[in-house]
Each structure stands twice: as structure tokens, then as C-alpha cells.
Structure 1
Amino acid sequence: MNARQAPEFPRWPQYDETERDGLIRALEQGQWWRMGGDEVDSFEREFAEHHGAPHALAVTNGTHALELALQCLGVGPGTEVIVPAFTFISSSQAAQRLGAVAVPVDVHPDTYCIDAAAVAAAVTPRTRAIMPVHMAGLIADMDALAKISADTGVPLLQDAAHAHGARWQGKRVGELGSVAAFSFQNGKLMTAGEGGALLFPDTELYEAAFLRHSCGRPRDDRRYLHRTAGSNLRMNEFSAAVLRAQLSRLDQQIALREERWTLLSRLLAAIDGVVPQGGDVRVDRKSHYMAMFRVPGLGEERRNALVDRLVEVGLPAFAAFRAIYRTDAFWEIGAPDETPDAIAARCPHTEAISQDCVWLHHRVLLAGEAEMHATAEIIADLVARA
């Protein structure tokens, strides 16, 4: 018997006349790069204000945002950056491309966020940054991580690519006292196809990043007096105009996703063998970049087959991230002096999650209650068969 077909879900990206008006506004201002136009500057002010940060810097993409932030924090050859073993590969590659060693540590089995105890055990005199990833918009344990940072002097860099608009104990991402990096890639909660941004807690770091993102050249330079090494990571005016429109509807979308996840996670938890991503009561606003769940013990091969079947019936489903140390890319440059199996031995939760976890695109959570019930019924049917 064939599984029922999934209902229709809202499309992504979403847009309306607000984006169209912004693009025309950017076009007609006659200057299409940030040094002559107004859109990037305006977006940075609005994004910083929305997240409670003194400064925001818009850049070309989220990976570049991480790389730029790490460079400003002193990461380079001979240094180490602690990253979660369960994350998208950009988290580690941003450090590795600077010549640093990426040190993977395990994550919490319930939240899928970096484990603070594992972080504390991994800090060495060479550690220059600790990079928590707010997985699926669930903010990592920032209290414990902030204490580790204070005790060791190692700064935090929040990988907030999933966490636009999220809050930790009432504090927005920009109010947590550390640099945060965001992505605006096509699937993200706000998108211009590509793009990224950094939030800074102080002016000194912001100014250093501004220089490096513009080839080391000051804003008012007319003599090509490049002050520091850098690259061209500047966002263009058209992307910023689109992102200003995307930001305007972010809160409304998050509120709907929170409501729908409350229902869907309850329905998923009632399915035999299914465990939805857990929460943390201190996260009083999760942005829900992904709707994640595990089928413990399923194994990678059967998990992948389950994802294929979910896609066949119309659910926008994906296999969870592969453990970064289980990819060829991780070992090309800046890898620790260990074997994959040695890292796996101290990352048992990452090993399990990466083999039995499934996620659904966040557009599922923009649908109605009936669609949540239909989604859970399909998952229950196909998990039973798997």
C-alpha cells in the first residue's frame, strides 16, 4: 500500500511588493554598491536594532561572516577553534581556511547544541575561539559557555545562521555579549539568495571587521592606503534591499513557526520510535530553522531511505548533517592530529544523531494545523515501515 501524499506547504522564499519596491529603490538610487548607496547601511542599522546589538556588518555570505569574525578574533596558523562536531561544514572550514585547527567536540543528545562540558575539556593554550552553533534556532547553553569564556579568556563566536530573531532568557542574540554570525542563504529564515551578517558587541571589533571586509581600506580613503589584510566581502545594494523586506516579516513568521512546532513536536513524540529535538526552558524564543527529529537506532542507511520516501510523498525532508570529521573536506587542511575514529569515540552523541536524525524545511511550519497532523501521520506510517 502506498503512503498518502503530503499536503501543499507554503513556498520558500516568500516575497511580495515589499521586495519589489526595495529592488526598484536600490536600482533607481543610481549607486549599486555599499560605499555609494543607502540600502546596506540601512539594513545594518535595522538588523542590529532588531537583535539588540550596537553594530551589524553585512557581508557576502554566512561562511565569510564566520571567517571574517575569526580573523578579527586573532585566529590563524598555530591556533585552534572549538566547534561542534554536529554542524554544517562551514563552521569548521571558516577556521581551517585561516590556517587554524578545527577541534570538534560533542553535542547534547537532546538539543543537538554544543556540550559545554566537552568545550571546557577541549580548551588549550592555543584555543582562540569557541564557536557554539544555535542548532535549528535553539540557542546553545550561553550561560555555561559564557562562564567558560570568562574563566579561560577565550572569546565566543556565535554561529547564529539558524537563529535570526531567537532569544535566550529574554535576551536577543546581539545582547549576549559576543560576536554573532548570520546567513541569508536561500533556505534561511531571511534570504536574498546569498548573504551574511555579523553582530558586534563593541565598536573596536566592528571597525576592524569593516576594514577587513573592504580590502583593508578605510571608508574615506582616496589614496589606496590599505591598512590591513582583507578581502572584498561587501554586500551589494540589491541584496540589502531584499533583506530589509525579509526582516519586516521575520517576527510574524517566527511566531507562527513556534505555534506550529508546539503542535508538531507533540504529534511526533507520540509516534513510536520518534524523538523530536528537545528544548531548553531558557530559550524563550526559538526561531525554528528546521523541524528536527530522531529515530534512534535506525542507522544511516535506513535513515537515508526514510528521507527518500518522505521526499517521494511530498515532504521537504533532509538527512541531518554528517559529523564534520566524517567528511573528506574536514581532513584537507587544519585538521587535528587524530583519526576520525578517535574523534568519534569522544563524540558518541554526534555519531548517533548524524545517523538517525531527519529534518523538515521550516516552510512546513508556516502551514496550518491540519497540515501538521497530516505530516505526523505520514511520518508515523513511513517510520513504521522503516
Structure 2
Amino acid sequence: MASELALPPRLTRDLTEPEPIPEAGIARAIELMRSGRLFRYGEMGADQNDVALLEQEFATFVGRRYCVAVNSGGAALCLALKVLDVRPGDPVLVNGFTLAPVPGAIVHAGAKPVLVEIGADYVIDCDDLRAKVEASGARVLLLSHMRGHIADMDAVSAACDELGLILIEDCAHALCATWDGRAIGTFGAAAAFSAQTYKHLNAGEGGFLVLDDPDRAARAILYSGSYMLHGQHLNRPSPVEMARWEEQTPNFSMRMTALAAALLRPQLSDLPRRARRWNAIHDRIAAGIARSQHLRLPQRPDKARYSATSVQFSLFGFDEPEIRAFLESCAGRGLPVKWFGAGRQHGFTSAPRHWRYAGPQGAMDQTHAVLAGLCDIRTPLSLTDQDCDLVAAIVREAIETVVSARAETGETGRAATG
């Protein structure tokens, strides 16, 4: 009995648990399902305009002129590449710390990913960016604000100006984030956001392309699959702009459904509250795990205001068996920790060496050295302060267990990162 009482506490929260859909969204979804009208367009007229209203509201929220709602964040990235005239075989630059749908969107558009190294703080290395531009001749940078880590946007913008690069922002993890007071998603010629369940907005799946240029917006609407019913878009380019592209632009059938929009619209007004709570959860866990001398938290620039839905840290001085022992120790107490340095991609984690479809990229030694110790914890809004403290304690104690075992055997970790 005494040994049972001495067992360390377990985390009993499901870290994949999303917030419930607001009642207004549920009510509208039920209304739509009863009508059967789940398609965003009405052939006999605008039977419902949930998607059109959401596009208008999302564009205003982000601070862009146009928004086209689609079926995923990856689809939004693909459309961004198409409206920026990326052609089959064109090289497109992308930072090496991102998720597979980002290089996947480049391949979807028929282009070739060119991976750029990251630094110790998980964001793009502008020196390697310059080198990759010179080597590849790329004219487009798809910058992924992966896990809400914001690069020095002054430096990125300056590099794009210097190198003649067109910038696309992947903002799947950066809704509500800013750089020096300016919203992330407004720096590039286009930006893409996601409404997949684990993002700031949750429709199960969905995405948004935002941009300011009317010519590109017209093509995005047509690419998304408007069936010439683009008059039902509330924030759209002029009829002249639409007509210019009608017979030249294929239909890719990437539309968002009315049902998804109905679920999303009530969530927009709650985003500031969600972002504040997510950051409070992030900061409490980060402060707790920072008490360990065996991990490193990324340094965020003073100008960056992040919007975190997860926590990342780097273990250093740990070799692969030790990292696996750490992960197993955390899992044994109910805390799943993702690891971007694993030899095989798993779940939502992967690394450049796993993206063979992207073609040869060189060793990417710097990026893989950073990813070798990079760990990731989801932070649902349901976490209490006590949960956050327990998460941090589990991380610290798992690390100490590994370090103590190392000391007993007289061995030292061999794979340093960060």
C-alpha cells in the first residue's frame, strides 16, 4: 500500500481535447443540416451565405482586403502558389522546420521545394536563405510560422526585398500573432490560415487564403471552384476582373462548405480570449520547465507577440536512447510528448529527411541538429493552472530520471542540440 501511495501523480487530461463549438454555431449547423443545403453556393440564388459572410469577417479580422475560404490550410497554400504564377518545376523556398502539408502544398502546385536551414530558435536562417536563392534561382519564399514561432520579420522582409523574393506566409499556427504591432499574415503577397481542429479555429478541417491584389483574388475564387457563381462572394473583385479570368482558370474544387463556415463564424469573436488563455498556459508551462538546466526554450524576439497553442523546447546533451527514455517516462505519467528528431515520421511530426518526395536537399545538418532534441507538447485550453504545473513537473522529473541513470552508468549524452 505504501508503494501505491508513493506513485507520482499522472496527468489525466486529453491533450487533443478541443473547446466545444459555440452554441450559435451548433444551432446554425443543425439548421443547415435540416435544410440539406451544405454547399456554399445556391444555383437558384444565394440560399445561404455563411461562407461569404465568414470570408468578409475573416478578412477584416486579419486586416486583408480579400479572403477565399477553402477546404484546408494546405489547399490555401497551393492556391497562393498558383495565383502567384508558380509554374511546374519552379523552385519554392521553405524553412526546414514545418509540417509535411507545407512542402506538400508546393508539390501539389507542381513546384519543387527548396528547404532553408533554421537556427537554434526554430526560425529561418536568413544567411542560408540568401545562399539557397543564389543556388536555386527561386523567386518565391513560403515562410512557415511553424508552431507560432515568428522569425525576425524585419530581416525577412529586407532579405525578400534584396533578393527579389515574393513572400507567402503559412500562418496555420500564427493567428492573432503580431510583429512590431503588425498582424502576422499581412507581410506577404498572400497568407494561408488553417481551421483544422488543433488550430486556433476549429471546423475539423478548413482554410483561408488572404491577399490584397484583386487580380490574384479573382483567380483564387475561380481556382477554388465557384462555378461562375462568384457573384455570391461578398468581398470579391469587380466583375471586370472576374471576367478576365473566367475561361482561363481551372476549377480545383477546394471550396469550404457552408457547414464548416457555420461552425467557424461564432468562434471569430472569441479568438482574442482564446489567444490570451493559450499564451497564459504556454507561459506557465514554459516557466516551469525552464527550471531544468538540461533543456533550452527558444528565445523569442522582443517585437514578436506570439499566439501559442503548444510548447516547444530542446533537450541538449541527450543521445537518442536517452530521449526515448525521456519520452517513455513522460508517457508513463500520461503526458504525450512529440519529438521532431525521430528517425521515422510519426503522427504530426516529421523532418526534412522524411520528405523524399521533395527531392535531394543536401544534408540539412544545421536543421537536423536543432530538430534532434526538439520536443513538442499540445496545450488544450482545458488545462488548468494545476495541470500546467503538473506538465512541467513531469517534464523536469523525466529529465532528472534520465540524467540520474546516466550518472549511475558513468555515461554522457552524445547528441547536443540548440
TM-score scaled by structure 1? 0.88
Q: CA deviation at 1:19?
A: 2.4
Partner of 2:277: 256
Quick one: structure 1 residues 356 and 216, their matched pair in 2 at CA, closer, same or farther if it must change by over 3 Å? farther
Greater shift, 354-363 or 255-264, is seen at 255-264
CA contact (8 A) 1:73 1:128 kept: no
1:335 corresponds, among 354, 359, 378, to 359
Q: What's the CA shift string for 1:76-128, capped at 9, x where partnerless? A: 22311111112111111211233322111111212x12122221221147313
Q: CA deviation at 1:21?
A: 1.8
Q: CA deviation at 1:169?
A: 1.0
Q: CA deviation at 1:177?
A: 4.3
Q: Which runs of structure 1 show a deviation greater than 4 angstroms over 4 or more consecutive aligned residues?
A: 215-218
CA contact (8 A) 1:211 1:218 kept: no
SS of the residue aligned with 1:175? coil
Partner of 1:102: 113
Query: 2:78 & 2:270 partners in 1: Cα distance?
Result: 28
Partner of 1:5: 10
Q: CA deviation at 1:7?
A: 4.9
Partner of 2:26: 20
Q: CA deviation at 1:370?
A: 2.2
Partner of 2:56: 45
1:380 corresponds, among 396, 399, 406, to 396
CA contact (8 A) 1:76 1:100 kept: yes
Query: 2:23 & 2:376 partners in 1: Cα distance?
Result: 31
CA contact (8 A) 2:22 2:267 kept: no
Query: 2:74 & 2:154 partners in 1: Cα distance?
Result: 25
Query: 2:26 & 2:41 partners in 1: Cα distance?
Result: 22
Q: CA deviation at 1:215?
A: 6.8
Partner of 2:408: none
Query: 1:181 & 1:318 partners in 2: Cα distance?
Result: 24
Greater shift, 195-204 or 299-308, is seen at 299-308
Partner of 2:126: 116
CA contact (8 A) 1:132 1:158 kept: yes
2:293 corresponds, among 269, 272, 287, to 272
Quick one: structure 1 residues 301 and 206, their matched pair in 2 at CA, closer, same or farther if it must change by over 3 Å? farther
Query: 1:2 & 1:353 partners in 2: Cα distance?
Result: 34
1:129 corresponds, among 140, 148, 151, to 140
Q: CA deviation at 1:232?
A: 0.3
Q: CA deviation at 1:69?
A: 0.8
Amino acid corresponding to residue 356 of structure 2 in structure 1 = W
SS of the residue aligned with 1:370? helix
Q: CA deviation at 1:255?
A: 0.5
Q: What's the CA shift string for 1:270-296, capped at 9, x where partnerless? A: 112021233121112x11022111111
Q: What's the CA shift string for 1:37-72, capped at 9, x where partnerless? A: 311011111111111111111101111111111111
Residue pairs, 1:1-386, within 5 angstroms: 3-8=8-13, 11-27=17-33, 31-36=37-42, 37-110=48-121, 112-124=122-134, 126-214=137-225, 217=228, 219=230, 226-284=247-305, 286-320=306-340, 321-324=349-352, 326-327=353-354, 330-332=355-357, 334-336=358-360, 338=361, 342-345=362-365, 348=366, 350-363=367-380, 366-386=382-402
The structure with the largest alpha-carbon Rg is 2
Query: 1:306 & 1:217 partners in 2: Cα distance?
Result: 55
Quick one: structure 1 residues 375 and 278, their matched pair in 2 at CA, closer, same or farther if it must change by over 3 Å? same
Q: CA deviation at 1:188?
A: 1.4
Amino acid corresponding to residue 38 of structure 2 in structure 1 = W
Query: 2:36 & 2:55 partners in 1: Cα distance?
Result: 20
Query: 2:108 & 2:289 partners in 1: Cα distance?
Result: 39
Greater shift, 47-56 or 125-134, is seen at 125-134
SS of the residue aligned with 1:18? helix
Query: 2:189 & 2:324 partners in 1: Cα distance?
Result: 37
Q: CA deviation at 1:160?
A: 0.6
Greater shift, 195-204 or 9-18, is seen at 9-18
Amino acid corresponding to residue 383 of structure 2 in structure 1 = A
CA contact (8 A) 1:75 1:95 kept: no
Q: CA deviation at 1:263?
A: 2.5
Quick one: structure 1 residues 67 and 235, their matched pair in 2 at CA, closer, same or farther if it must change by over 3 Å? same
CA contact (8 A) 2:145 2:151 kept: yes
Unaligned runs of 5+ in 2: 1-5, 43-47, 232-241, 341-348, 403-418
Query: 1:262 & 1:218 partners in 2: Cα distance?
Result: 46
Q: CA deviation at 1:193?
A: 0.7
SS of the residue aligned with 2:363? helix
Q: What's the CA shift string for 1:355-379, capped at 9, x where partnerless? A: 211111121x652322222211111
Partner of 2:235: none
SS of the residue aligned with 2:388? helix
Query: 1:131 & 1:2 partners in 2: Cα distance?
Result: 48
Q: CA deviation at 1:148?
A: 1.9
CA contact (8 A) 1:133 1:140 kept: no
TM-score scaled by structure 2? 0.82
Partner of 2:346: none
Query: 1:99 & 1:213 partners in 2: Cα distance?
Result: 17
Q: CA deviation at 1:159?
A: 0.7
Unaligned runs of 5+ in 1: none
